[in-house]
Amino acid sequence: MIQWWQILLLTLYSAYQICDELTIVSSAGSPVFAGFITGLVMGDLGTGLFIGASLQLTVLGVGTFGGASRIDATSGAVLATAFSVAQGIKPEIAISTIAVPVAALLTYADILGRMSTTAFAHRIDAAIERFDYKGIERNYLLGAVPWALSRALPVFLALAFGGAFVQSVVDFVAKYQWFANGLTLAGRMLPGLGFAILLHYLPVKRHLHYLALGFGLTAMLTVLYSNVQSVGAAISAMLGTDAFAKLPKEQMVAFTNNFKSVSMIGVAIIGIFLAVQHFKNSQRTVVAAPASNVESGEIEDDEF
């Protein structure tokens, strides 16, 4: 069961995240951050990060153009993580049965939030004509209220009163294992769908060599560091039989697992290198050619 203080914290976060996305843009409104915060509040950080990262990859290639609305994957991550932890739902099933439907339905809440802010925009226009600076500031800040309510209100209602409905869905899925397996597979396929959408919009044909380079480096580093992991595990096992025999079992496992994330460190280093190179290239200034005092049409030499 979700506690009242958890509902309060998640509601406040939902109100803040959309305002952050529209103003500060600190990534607090991203699905992976929403999964992190919700997992922290619910006491299961691993489930929160799994659901948040899966939804982040799902919307990887989805963007808004102009005033267009998109699915609210952030609120979907909040609700899916909360109910997954509270009611023991598998993360993959929570993604396909809760996160995706909620994200799609809250598109209408996003549209309502956009429409509501136009009233404050007109009031700001009127305040500008009157040179009412206090009115401009006041209505600008009040414009954040519809945006915050467009996320906070649905999340609050779902967390406070949606437990029975979610439990009925869980009971229904538990009766039909084939249906649960299908939902699990769908939840695992969604990150791949996000990559497919992204590749559809990116100029892959023009930059195919970069795509091949990234794939090749990832494959090679994975193979390389998986061998390093095996060597580290072997060394740990040998040391554990002698000098480290008196260490607790938890510490032995932690020592062995230190080698498991080295491949991602290698990929991160390459990414940092490429980012630095791009930054340096963008900082280069083009030196203008010196101005010439030669009149138009005058020949400077007679070599030809």
- Encode the chain (304 residues) as per-residue pLDDT tens digits: 789 999 999 999 999 999 998 888 888 999 999 999 999 999 999 999 999 999 998 887 666 655 667 789 999 999 999 999 998 899 989 998 899 888 888 888 888 888 888 899 999 999 999 999 999 999 999 999 999 999 999 999 999 998 888 878 777 877 888 888 887 888 778 877 777 877 787 777 777 767 777 777 777 777 776 666 676 666 666 655 555 556 555 555 444 444 444 455 556 666 666 776 677 677 765 555 555 555 555 555 544 4
Q: What is the pLDDT of residue 303?
A: 45
Which of 230, 234, 233 shows the shortest CA–CA distance to 222? 230
- What are the domain boundaries of the chain? 2-199, 202-285
Q: Are 98 and 79 in contact (CB under 8 A)?
A: yes
Say what the pLDDT of residue 249 is. Answer: 58
Q: Which of 295, 301, 250, 12 is nearest to 149 (CA)?
A: 12
| Predicted local confidence at residue 206, as pLDDT | 75
Residue 304 confidence (pLDDT): 43
**pLDDT at residue 40 in the model:** 95
Using CA atoms, how far apart are residues 90 and 295, in angstroms rounded to an integer? Answer: 79
Residue partners of 243: CB distance under 8 A and separation at least 6: none
The single-letter code of the amino acid at 197 is: I
The per-residue pLDDT for 267 is 62
Question: Could you give the CA distance from residue 203 to residue 221 in angstroms, rounded to a whole number?
Answer: 26
* pLDDT score of 302: 47
Q: Tell me, what's the pLDDT at 213?
A: 72
Place of tokens 């007109």: 122
User: What confidence score (pLDDT) does residue 256 get?
Assistant: 47
